[in-house]
Amino acid sequence: MIRYIIEKALSGNKLTADEIALLFEVPLFSYDSALIQSASRQLCEKASDSFAEVHAQVGLDIARCPRNCRFCSFASCNGVFSENVELPVEEIVARALDFESDGANAIYLMTTARYPFEKFIEIAQEVRRSLNPDTVLIANIDDFSEKQAVQLKNTGFAGVYHALRLGEGKDTTIPPETRLKTFRYAQEADLILGTCVEPVGPEHTIDELVEKTIITREVKPVFSGAMRRIPIPNTEMARYGTVSKARMAHILAVIRLATGYEIPGNCTHEPNVVGVAAGANVIWAETGSNPRDIEEETEGKRGMSVHQCREIFKEAEWNVLSGPSRFFRTGKTLRTLVEHETVIK
């Protein structure tokens, strides 16, 4: 049965919820798990024309965030940071320029949910003006309205990273419908969407993983994938522990097979060789604030550099794209190419 499901995915057919669940249930380090990871890598290379991408995120602020996502170091309830910190605009521009010259394929600006939207737009305009016009800029911010989606587009963002997280509405104060609405507003404003199944913890059931995998497929992003939860010390969620990188490789491989050729990218975070070998082709460098870190500055700590991310891809025998992200610039074209290839097989 497992071989049949793998073949079905490789032939470009959509997997059902039951089939995805069966793949998640396969024991780690079994022959079938190795087959799933190998097929995932094969599908990922075909879907992305054999190129991986390094994206790079600047975290603009630290604040006691009222959304209280229990897995996040900024959540007010976790009490990790006592003071608000904001990077000055010159520093944000400088860091974005550093990422650009290091060869990042896309640059993300991330804020906590308490960061004023209008201020974010002003800073983004400054960043946009400073970068090469071809450099792909992505927003990773709070939920936004229809009008704000248009403002993001007009500011020069190519897309957004947004996710309906595991435990949304239970481990966070954000109703899942709000996240879904934001996906819709973004896409109506012609902002390209990147998303993934996150933050994966050891306590999550297969049903939850399947549900979120299908949501990431149905919202038609340019990448899905899987990110594990990093325990924030002395918080309630830390008691659940961490999913190993080996298990994350199996999880992201199942997601790769479930999301199919129409979605060219499959991400994992934090970057690691096992995960990219098993079919992740998007990873992130980070600077500034980081919701998985308890340090104000993540660069040189949890946050990796563009160079380190490239090395990780190299160790897993991936070609890394030079120039602006193809996922965010030509996602539709790639999908069309893939559809064509699938049809002529």
CA 226 to CA 208: how far, in whole Å?
Answer: 13
Identified binder of ligand SF4 from the candidate list 65, 138, 214, 267, rule CB under 6 A: 65
Q: Are 252 and 223 in contact (CB under 8 A)?
A: no
Q: Are 287 and 300 in contact (CB under 8 A)?
A: no
Nearer to ligand SF4, 172 or 266 (CB): 172
Q: Are 245 and 287 in contact (CB under 8 A)?
A: no
Strand partners, 108: 57, 138
Residue of 182, 151, 150 lying closest to 67 (CA atoms): 182
Q: Which stretch binds ligand SF4 (CB under 6 A): 60-68, 209-217, 218-226, 305-313?
A: 60-68
Identified binder of ligand SF4 from the candidate list 113, 193, 255, 320, rule CB under 6 A: 113
Q: Per rule CB under 6 A, is residue 67 in the interface with ligand SF4?
A: yes
- Up-side HSE of residue 146: CA atoms within 13 Å toward CB? 1
Residue 280: burial class (beta carbons within 10 Å; 0-12, 13-18, 19+): buried
Output the smallest distance, CB 69 to ligand SF4, in A.
3
Amino acid letter, 300:
G
Q: Per rule CB under 6 A, is residue 112 in the interface with ligand SF4?
A: yes
Q: Are 162 and 301 in contact (CB under 8 A)?
A: no
Q: Which stretch binds ligand SF4 (CB under 6 A): 40-48, 64-72, 230-238, 273-281?
A: 64-72
Nearer to ligand SF4, 167 or 264 (CB): 167
Of 156-175, binders to ligand SF4 (CB under 6 A) are: 172
Q: Per rule CB under 6 A, is residue 141 in the interface with ligand SF4?
A: no
Q: Per rule CB under 6 A, is residue 230 in the interface with ligand SF4?
A: no
Output the smallest distance, CB 273 to ligand SF4, in A.
27
Q: Which residues bind ligand SF4 (CB under 6 A)?
A: 65, 67-69, 72, 74-75, 112-113, 172, 291
